[in-house]
Every structure is written in structure tokens, then in C-alpha cells.
Amino acid sequence: MIKMDSSKNSIGHISLISILFAGVLYLCTWSASISSPFLFSSRRLYNHCSSPSQSDMKKLKVPVDELELALEKASTPNKTVIIAVVNKAYVEQSVDAETTMFDIFLESFWLGEDTRPLLDHLLIIAVDQAAYERCLFKKLNCYKLETEGVDQFEGEKIYMSPGYQIKGNNELDLNTH
């Protein structure tokens, strides 16, 4: 049995401990997979080294279309939105009427108890240009529902006609957002 003297043995232990310490330090400062800060007292170092949290990733989400932008703008913090679909008939005043149906609808938010703040979370889906322009004039959250090549809301649609089916499909698409 070979006996080492204690000085060589302690140098070996110190070298081994130094290498292990350097490895742990390297992993903690450069690895993005570290999720526990208990090795460090400095939160800044931990925040610099850690991977992005889920809340950070949600903030980076980019809306893909105008409807998502409109929904995001009108939504409450818990993603609640009041949606109203309007067309030319609702926003244009008839000769014998004092006001429009759209104005009566909006007035209900002003007259109700604690309902005024809900106007900020109202999204008006305009199905034609007249309704869209009136919505913009009222400075509300507006989205114009458009279909290429077809004026889907012009006139009555007969059940299961091509116009009826396009209108129904667009309503389904709107509901999936």
C-alpha cells in the first residue's frame, strides 16, 4: 500500500473542489435552464440568467389580424368584451324618427347604473361602410367585417343560398376569435 503525504492529498482535494465549484458557477451563470435562484443572493444575476417566464412570453404575442387587435384593445384585463353587430339600418335615422337604434343602444350605457365604463369594452362589428363610419364618428372600438367579392349583408338571404352560406361561415369565423 502506497502512502501519500498529507500535502499532496490536500492539494488534490482543493483542486477537485475548485473544479467542481467552477463547474457549478459556470452552469448557474450561463445556463438558461436554471430555474431556482437559491444559489445566488443577487436577483439581478438570476434574472439575467434565467429563461423568460410564461407571462413574458404572453407579452411577446403579436396579434395576427385587425380583429385580434380590436378585441385586444376592447377587452378587460380578464379578456371580457361586449360585442354588438350593427349595419346601415341601425345607424341611419329614418325621416320620422328622432334618433337611431344605434344611438338608443349607446344611450343605455350612459343611463344605466355603473354602465358607462363598459363602453370602453364594447366592440362594434360593422357589416357595412355606413355602420363603420358611424362607429368611428362615435369614437368607439370598431371592426369592419368584410368579405371579398360579396356584399354578404346587402338584402335578405334565402336559406341555404350561396349568400346565406357565406354569411353563416363568416359569422362562425367571427365567433372563433
Grid cell for residue 65: 389580424
The residue among 166, 123, 163 whose CA lies nearest residue 144 is: 123
Within a domain: 154: no
What does the alpha-carbon distance between residue 22 and residue 35 come to, in Å, rounded to a whole number? 19
Q: How many domains does the chain have?
A: 2
Do 128 and 110 belong together in one domain? yes
Region at 75 (left for phi over 0; alpha for psi -120 to 50; beta for the rest): beta
137 falls within a domain? yes
CB-CB neighbours of 68 under 10 Å:
14
Whether residue 142 contacts residue 136, with contact meaning beta carbons closer than 8 Å, is answered with yes
pLDDT per residue as tens digits for the range 38-84: 444 444 444 444 555 666 655 666 657 888 888 899 999 999 999 99
Q: Do 115 and 88 belong together in one domain? A: yes
Determine contact, residues 69/110, Cβ cutoff 8 Å. Answer: no
Residues 118 and 94 in one domain: yes
Same domain, residue pair 73 and 118 = yes
Taking the chain (177 residues) in runs of 10, the rounded mean pLDDT of each run is: 58 76 68 48 47 60 77 91 92 88 94 92 93 94 79 58 64 59
The whole domain housing 22 covers: 6-52
All three cell numbers of 97, joined, read 324618427
Per the domain annotation, does 164 fall within a domain?
no
The answer to whether position 173 is within a domain reads no
- Residue 37 lies inside a defined structural domain of this protein: yes
Asked if 76 and 129 sit in the same domain, the reply is yes
